[in-house]
Amino acid sequence: MHCSGEPKMKKTVSKFQVQDLLPIGMTLVVLGIALAYGLQVMGDVKSDMTADTAEYNATGDAITGVAKLPAKLPTIVTVIVAAVIIGILVTYLAGRFMR
């Protein structure tokens, strides 16, 4: 205990390994495949509908909505990579200068 009566904080060493990124990468791959096949199925369903019906329009709107997510995947990946790099730098610099 410190003089003030508070318990002393224990320092821990944080280690980062590239293997820690594997789950993130696999999630992005599965997401991309699922969206691609989902859009293909939705396109097939739309082609089975009669034009100018509510179902046809709803399927078209759903395809438009779902198609916007894959367009954002490059931005999402860029943010994830930037967060990982910033985390590594902060951990490295904190360990180097806080000794």
Q: Domain coordinates of the chain in residue numbers?
A: 18-97
CB-based contact 16:91 (threshold 8 Å):
yes
Alpha carbon distance 27, 10 (integer Å): 34
The chain-wide mean pLDDT, for the chain, equals 83
CB-based contact 49:7 (threshold 8 Å):
no
Residues 40-60: pLDDT tens digits? 999 999 888 888 899 899 999
Enter the pTM of the model.
Answer: 0.63
C-alpha closest to that of 38 among 62, 72, 18, 11: 62
Residue 13: what pLDDT?
Answer: 60
